[in-house]
């Protein structure tokens, strides 16, 4: 019992620190691509502490208060259901408790809570961003789900440990090589999940200034930032486990998640933004078709 609690705490704190650090590194890499010096790598920690210590006197109703908590809860739930380091029992946490479909469902939880809360704030930009976000989410979830189903059918297992265990026979057994089309589809769907350009229609800084969190400030925003950091690490872990053979040690975990994160950052820094309908059309056509190719191949 105690060791379970300790392992959960260890996982969550490590993921939070790693997520914030990745955010700082990504701001730096983006700055280097723009030809700037960029902020400190620890800038996100400083921002978080400042926000946490700011006062807040805004009230928009109960759901507005709860949305950041929903986001954090959703992120932690996803994080605990994914095996962190393969082979270490201490890092499996709750991963025995559900299959991959439960995970896909839980991933929605934080976003839906956020949508309700930001909708409660009543700001028009928040509402516009939420309608865009939900439309886009239903498009990328489709391709991602088909990719996951293709992998699950191909490996004859719905359990995420089973999927990881099937990839332990060397690099060539990684799902990205066994299911290249499904992996490509899922990796494209990864970009809108990370709100990266060209799919950044939810935050859309120059258009609907900052989207859902327009009315959020102070502690609410600091919770939201931590939730975002945790959620992005959880998604990275999920992708590493599904397509890149899982992580056999902490070092492998950090290297793999870092490289996957950098993929999103580099793509994000060099592309302009899609319009909403372009983004949805692209997501329904390209990654979905790619994932379907592998699904059909596996089923034949």
Partner 1 sequence: MYCNQPPKKPGDKKEVLQKITNMARANSLWVTAYGTGCGSIELRPLGTSRFDMERFGIAMRPTPRQADVLIISGYLATKTLKRVIRVYEQIQDPKYIMALGSCTINGGMYFDSYNTLNVLDKYLPVDVYVMGCMPRPEAIIDGFSLLMKKIKEGRAVGWKHYRENLDYYRENQKQIIKNWDLPDYNW
Binding region for partner 1 (CB under 8 A): 27, 31, 34-40, 43, 46-47, 49-50, 53-58, 205, 209-210, 213-218, 221
Nearer to partner 1, 7 or 214 (CB): 214
- Is residue 58 left, alpha or beta, with left meaning phi > 0 and alpha meaning psi from -120 to 50? beta
Q: Note whether 110 and 68 are within 8 A (CB).
A: no
Q: How far is CA 48 from CA 54, 155, 220, 256, in A?
A: 10, 42, 11, 26
Provide the minimum distance between the beta carbon of 211 and partner 1 in the complex, in angstroms, as a whole number.
10
Find the largest Cα–Cα distance for the chain.
60
Provide the minimum distance between the beta carbon of 20 and partner 1 in the complex, in angstroms, as a whole number.
13
> Nearest 5 degrees, angle CA 227-CA 232-CA 237?
125
Provide the minimum distance between the beta carbon of 285 and partner 1 in the complex, in angstroms, as a whole number.
32
Nearer to partner 1, 19 or 154 (CB): 19
CA-atom Rg of the chain in angstroms = 19
Provide the minimum distance between the beta carbon of 206 and partner 1 in the complex, in angstroms, as a whole number.
9
Nearer to partner 1, 1 or 37 (CB): 37
User: What are the counts of helices (DSSP H) followed by strands (DSSP E) for the chain?
Assistant: 11, 0
Query: How many C-beta atoms lie closer than 10 Å to residue 209's C-beta?
Result: 12
Nearer to partner 1, 46 or 169 (CB): 46
Nearer to partner 1, 49 or 177 (CB): 49
Provide the minimum distance between the beta carbon of 21 and partner 1 in the complex, in angstroms, as a whole number.
16
Nearer to partner 1, 35 or 170 (CB): 35
Provide the minimum distance between the beta carbon of 59 and partner 1 in the complex, in angstroms, as a whole number.
8
Q: What is the dihedral of CA 130, 23, 246, 300, to 10 degrees?
A: 40
């Amino acid at each position: 019992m105690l060791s379970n609690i300790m392992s959960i705490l260890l996982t969550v704190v490590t993921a939070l620190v790693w997520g914030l650090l990745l955010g700082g590194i990504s701001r730096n890499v983006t700055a280097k691509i723009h030809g700037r010096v960029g902020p400190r790598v620890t800038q996100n920690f400083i921002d978080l502490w400042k926000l946490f210590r700011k006062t807040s006197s805004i009230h928009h109703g109960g759901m507005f208060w709860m949305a950041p908590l929903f986001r954090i809860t959703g992120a932690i739930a996803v994080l605990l259901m994914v095996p962190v380091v393969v082979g270490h029992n201490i890092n499996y946490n709750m991963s025995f408790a559900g299959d991959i479909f439960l995970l896909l469902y839980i991933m929605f939880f934080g976003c839906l809570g956020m949508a309700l809360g930001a909708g409660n704030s009543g700001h028009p930009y928040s509402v516009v961003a939420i309608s865009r976000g939900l439309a886009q989410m239903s498009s990328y979830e489709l391709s991602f789900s088909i990719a996951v189903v293709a992998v699950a059918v191909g490996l004859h297992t719905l359990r995420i440990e089973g999927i990881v265990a099937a990839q332990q026979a060397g690099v060539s057994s990684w799902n990205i090589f066994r299911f290249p089309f499904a992996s490509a589809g899922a990796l494209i769907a990864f970009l809108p999940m990370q709100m990266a350009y060209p799919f950044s229609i939810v935050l859309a800084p120059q258009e609907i200034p900052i989207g859902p969190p327009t009315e959020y400030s102070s502690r609410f925003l600091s919770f939201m930032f931590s939730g975002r950091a945790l959620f992005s690490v959880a998604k990275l872990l999920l992708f590493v486990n599904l397509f890149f053979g899982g992580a056999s040690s902490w070092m492998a975990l950090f290297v793999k998640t870092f490289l996957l994160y950098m993929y999103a950052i580099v793509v994000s820094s060099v592309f302009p933004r899609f319009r909403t309908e372009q983004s949805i059309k692209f997501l329904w056509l390209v990654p979905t078709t790619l994932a379907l190719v592998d699904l059909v191949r596996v089923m034949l």
